Amino acid sequence: MLTHQTEVLVRFNEADPLGIVWHGHYIRYFEDGREGFGKRYGISYLDFYKNGLAVPIVSVHCDYKKPLRYGQSVIVETTYIDSHAAKLKFDYKIFQGNSKELVAVGTTTQVFVDVKNFQLQLTVPDFFMDWKKEVGFAK
Amino acid sequence: MLTHQTEVLVRFNEADPLGIVWHGHYIRYFEDGREGFGKRYGISYLDFYKNGLAVPIVSVHCDYKKPLRYGQSVIVETTYIDSHAAKLKFDYKIFQGNSKELVAVGTTTQVFVDVKNFQLQLTVPDFFMDWKKEVGFAK
Amino acid sequence: MLTHQTEVLVRFNEADPLGIVWHGHYIRYFEDGREGFGKRYGISYLDFYKNGLAVPIVSVHCDYKKPLRYGQSVIVETTYIDSHAAKLKFDYKIFQGNSKELVAVGTTTQVFVDVKNFQLQLTVPDFFMDWKKEVGFAK
Amino acid sequence: MLTHQTEVLVRFNEADPLGIVWHGHYIRYFEDGREGFGKRYGISYLDFYKNGLAVPIVSVHCDYKKPLRYGQSVIVETTYIDSHAAKLKFDYKIFQGNSKELVAVGTTTQVFVDVKNFQLQLTVPDFFMDWKKEVGFAK
């Protein structure tokens, strides 16, 4: 299992009038987690870009377990979920930084498209297949 | 079926370097749709608030069908999904404003909490039950 | 004097834990005002774009007079400030939608750059000079 | 002179269709810088809050020198500007993380208000006067 933990600070302006982080910001925390993962394992947006690919999100899901408050930090645990499909799937667990309580879980699915014309890639691109081999998910 | 359509303008700053609207902003379009619905049918955040309730999101899901570009507008169709549970569920369809093409679908689930102490309400609050009667979903 | 009024809804997620709109969002209200002005008078971002130009902001200023709260709407009054320089300057007044109280004033300055290489245009571009003639600011 | 440097990552979703960071996000970078400063020197939002104070922004200014692109990081240098007025003023310099080029400069001014009723404090609050003594700006 390939996983990475990224720490994210909750900004004052991310909490709403109830004092809790607005639910939409968790989608950004997922992206921060995915970015941290991508930098750590060599598949950031820029790595895809250099290989002529963009990886738009086609599905996102988030379940909220506990409220997050301003002044807290969060740890985003991002896990790559391997499959044979021409897709890129990550699971996320968001923990409150101090108490380590689980505050949210989620999933994103991305597809591979040609960065020039947004043409959907129906098979796993070579660049990504190479990456899968490197990290031990393909031979 | 109780539904409402809200028009939302896509802001320049909501499109990313690929020229398409960043996926996280759709969560805000859902909220705009929910707000429009709430104003139309008398269950906006402020209506809940006056009745001592907050309705935090506990689950959100979005499937992206087509990219949205800057300069386009969107129509968010928000539909109330009735149930017996002490929950508030909405379905969303986002259409491109001109072509009327479906660009995304999604769902949110909210719970009822006491606005003062965030205590979860395990039964449907009176205020909401009254609303359900008014709009024809309960007797 | 060329001016335009745009109504903007204050979103729930734009208010902070103090219950007032986070100051950074006013910069977006200015952009909403500028967009409204641009659509009304034919100099939106897309109009510039079609003429090979981008108009990045080089300076922004905002003075906050009164707090804005969630549930209120605002009216952004955007005024074009003419000059001989190769610049695009707007003044803004933000009013609370109901009370019409002035809640903020501000200014933005933009320059003209080539959209392909970001080369600064040292003289007023033809497209914009034509626009100035049309609206009565140049002969 | 009391100053602090905070590193901020430029998020993918902060760059606009021109590939450069949308100007409104710099206001958030200022806030990140102010937060870093506040944590370092004991005057974060939460420190004010514990002392019954909020410090809303009454003025913000930003001059943009160079475009920022996605994938870059920035260093926000936040400097406290002392004065006798019942105000809190900071200057900011934003540098590109690698090249150390100056990309923006700015200023914010905050006032002291009672956190309960938003009453403006016309004299420097004791808590802040104590802080000024501690860091060497008052006797």
Global ipTM: 0.94
Percent of chain C with pLDDT over 70: 100
Cβ pair A18:B63 closer than 8 A:
no
Residue D71 has pLDDT above 80, yes or no: no
Cβ pair C27:D24 closer than 8 A:
yes
Tell me, yes or no, whether A139 lies in a domain: no
How far is A139 from chain B, CA to nearest CA, in Å? 32
pLDDT at D6: 96
Tell me, yes or no, whether C123 lies in a domain: yes
SS3 D30: helix
Per the prediction, chain D carries an average pLDDT of 93
- Which helix H or strand E contains C119, and what residues bound it? none
* Range in B84-93, D4-13, D31-40 the model is least confident about: D4-13
B64-86: average pLDDT = 93
Tell me, yes or no, whether D122 lies in a domain: yes
Between residues B102 and D136, which one has the greater pLDDT?
B102
Whole-angstrom Cα distance, residue D128 to residue B41?
48
SS3 B25: helix
Using one digit for the tens of pLDDT, what is the confidence trace for B43-74?
Answer: 998 899 999 999 999 999 999 999 998 878 89
Tell me, yes or no, whether A81 lies in a domain: yes
Whole-angstrom Cα distance, residue B4 to residue B36?
7
pLDDT at B102: 98
Question: From the CB of residue B44, how many other CB atoms can be counted at a distance below 10 Å?
Answer: 18
> Which amino acid is present at B115?
V
Whole-angstrom Cα distance, residue A60 to residue B106?
9
Using one digit for the tens of pLDDT, what is the confidence trace for C4-53?
Answer: 999 998 888 888 877 889 999 999 999 999 999 999 999 998 899 999 99
CATH number of residue B72's parent domain: 3.10.129.10
Q: What are the respective helix, strand and coil percentages of chain D, to the nearest 5?
A: 25, 40, 35
Q: Which residues of chain A have pLDDT under 70?
A: none
- The verdict on B71 touching C (C-beta cutoff 8 Å) is yes
Between residues A94 and B10, which one has the greater pLDDT?
A94
When divided into structural domains, chain D yields a total of 1
> Which partners does chain C have (≥3 C-beta pairs < 8 Å)?
A, B, D
Tell me, yes or no, whether C139 lies in a domain: no
Chain A residues with beta carbon closer than 8 angstroms to that of D35 = 9, 11-12
How far is B13 from chain D, CA to nearest CA, in Å? 6
Tell me, yes or no, whether D21 lies in a domain: yes
Tell me, yes or no, whether A41 lies in a domain: yes
Chains A & D: contacts with CB separation below 8 Å: 30
Using one digit for the tens of pLDDT, what is the confidence trace for D34-66?
Answer: 999 999 999 998 899 999 999 999 999 999 999
How far is A17 from chain C, CA to nearest CA, in Å? 4
Closest C-alpha among B104, B119, B32, D67 to residue A59: B104
Whole-angstrom Cα distance, residue A57 to residue B24?
10
Across the interface, which of C11, C31, C71 has its CB nearest the CB of B12?
C31
Report, in angstroms and rounded to the nearest whole number, the Rg of chain C calculated over CA atoms.
Answer: 16
D46, closest residue in chain A (CA to CA) = A71
- Which helix H or strand E contains A99, and what residues bound it? none
- The verdict on D19 touching C (C-beta cutoff 8 Å) is no
Q: What is the DSSP string of C12-77?
A: GGGB-TTSBB-TTHHHHHHHHHHHHHHHHHT--HHHHHHTTEE--EEEEEEEE-S--BTT-EEEEE
Range of the domain at C12: 2-134
Question: pTM for the full model?
Answer: 0.90
Closest C-alpha among A110, D24, A121 to residue C28: D24
Tell me, yes or no, whether C59 lies in a domain: yes
Per the prediction, chain C carries an average pLDDT of 93
pLDDT at C78: 98
- The verdict on A70 touching B (C-beta cutoff 8 Å) is no
At residue D105 the predicted structure's pLDDT band, cuts being 50, 70 and 90, is very high
pLDDT at C99: 93
